[in-house]
């Protein structure tokens, strides 16, 4: 009897994790596990310091080249009022726990509600997309990585606006799959895939990866594209959490239009 009871409890927990945003009780964004991972990560990050520095330098040089090569420099008084003109707010965070071997991979970040991290915010690294915030506690937050079979993110081809859904088949941590791209889209091997900005989680244009190979699905109406990620998901340390300030306005607007 006890066995059946406990087994069904654990099954319930398991099934909850399969549906998006339902895993409320069992997650590592709590005081105990967050604390343990935090102290271990404090030690571990020293071993990776050189590589992470290199990544940051690369990003810096990229940003500098954009900054100094910009043709029409704007009035500095205009740049000052950051919060009004830019709907996206960025927060930096460090990854405390990363996994890529299971089929439902979750990351743990070292910032939570106190730093303004909320559910459903997008997470990117300097190279590209990482995932979406799932659970938050006061000081920690968990991220559903793109390497999670329940993750669904809207992405598109860079050169045309054909969009599809980014999913993962659970096999390689270096590849994800883009499905529901219409047959008419001009897909070629080597094309860049970016986020579409349709979901108001990610801004448009966050790099995802390049087309590795593609084939038509069973119904022969849509492409299934294998994407090689720009990000090395097996080695992530510094990430940015993106908050879209206008997200409430957008969802309300969409809701009111669909209700009519």
Partner 1 sequence: MNSVLYTNIVRFILLVSLQVLVLNHVNFLGYLNPYLYILFIILFPIKNSRPLFVFLSFIFGLTIDVFLDSGGIHAAACVSIAYVRPVILKFCFGTVYEYQTVKFDTVEFSSKLLYITILTILHHIILFSLEIFNISKVILTVQKTLFSSIFTIILCILVTIIFSRKTK
**Cβ burial, residue 252 (10 Å; 0-12/13-18/19+):** exposed
Find the binder of partner 1 among 42, 60, 102, 248 (CB under 8 A).
102
Choice between 49 and 171, CB closer to partner 1: 171
Interface with partner 1 (CB under 8 A), residue total: 39
Rounded alpha-carbon distances, angstroms, from residue 20 to 23, 178, 202: 8, 19, 17
Identify which range of 16-24, 67-75, 109-117, 201-209 contacts partner 1 by CB under 8 A: 16-24
Identify which range of 52-60, 93-101, 122-130, 159-167 contacts partner 1 by CB under 8 A: 93-101
Of 208-247, which residues contact partner 1 (CB under 8 A)? 234
Phi, psi of 188 (to 5 degrees): -135, 150
Regarding 33 and contact with partner 1 (CB under 8 A), the answer is yes
Question: In sequence order, what E strands does the chain have?
Answer: 88-97, 104-109, 122-124, 129-136, 141-148, 153-157, 163-167, 175-182, 192-195, 207-216, 222-229, 238-244
**Cβ burial, residue 68 (10 Å; 0-12/13-18/19+):** exposed
248, 236, 243: which is closest to 90 by C-alpha? 243
Decide: 56 and 63 in contact? Cβ < 8 Å: no
Choice between 3 and 84, CB closer to partner 1: 3
Regarding 91 and contact with partner 1 (CB under 8 A), the answer is no
The distance of closest approach from Cβ of residue 3 to partner 1 in the complex, given in angstroms and rounded to an integer, is 4
Regarding 184 and contact with partner 1 (CB under 8 A), the answer is no
Return d(Cα 42, Cα 48) in angstroms, integer.
Answer: 11
Regarding 38 and contact with partner 1 (CB under 8 A), the answer is no
Of 148-177, which residues contact partner 1 (CB under 8 A)? 149, 170-173
Find the binder of partner 1 among 55, 93, 96, 106 (CB under 8 A).
106
Regarding 7 and contact with partner 1 (CB under 8 A), the answer is yes
- Chain residues binding partner 1 by CB under 8 A are 2-3, 6-7, 9-18, 23, 26-28, 30, 32-33, 36-37, 40, 99-104, 106, 108, 142, 149, 170-173, 234
């Amino acid at each position: 009897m006890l066995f059946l009871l406990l087994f069904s409890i654990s099954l319930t927990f398991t099934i909850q994790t399969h549906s998006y945003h339902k895993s409320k009780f069992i997650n590592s964004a709590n005081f105990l596990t967050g604390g343990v991972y935090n102290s271990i990560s404090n030690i571990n990050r020293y071993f990776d310091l050189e590589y992470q520095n290199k990544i940051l330098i690369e990003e810096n040089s990229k940003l500098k080249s954009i900054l100094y090569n910009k043709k029409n420099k704007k009035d500095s008084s205009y740049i000052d009022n950051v919060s009004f003109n830019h709907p996206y707010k960025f927060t930096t965070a460090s990854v405390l726990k990363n996994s890529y071997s299971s089929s439902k991979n979750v990351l743990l970040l070292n910032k939570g509600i106190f730093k303004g991290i909320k559910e459903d915010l997008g997470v990117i690294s300097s190279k590209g997309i990482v995932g979406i915030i799932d659970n938050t506690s006061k000081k920690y937050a968990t991220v559903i990585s793109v390497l999670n079979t329940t993750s669904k993110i809207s992405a598109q081809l860079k050169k045309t606006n054909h969009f599809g859904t980014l999913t993962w088949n659970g096999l390689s941590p270096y590849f994800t799959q883009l499905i529901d791209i219409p047959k008419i889209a001009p897909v070629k091997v080597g094309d860049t895939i970016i986020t579409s900005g349709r979901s108001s989680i990610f801004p448009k244009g966050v790099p995802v990866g390049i087309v590795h190979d593609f084939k038509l699905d069973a119904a022969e109406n849509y492409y299934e594209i294998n994407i090689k990620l720009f990000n090395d998901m097996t080695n992530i340390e510094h990430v940015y959490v993106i908050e879209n300030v206008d997200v409430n306005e957008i969802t309300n607007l969409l809701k009111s239009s669909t209700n009519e």
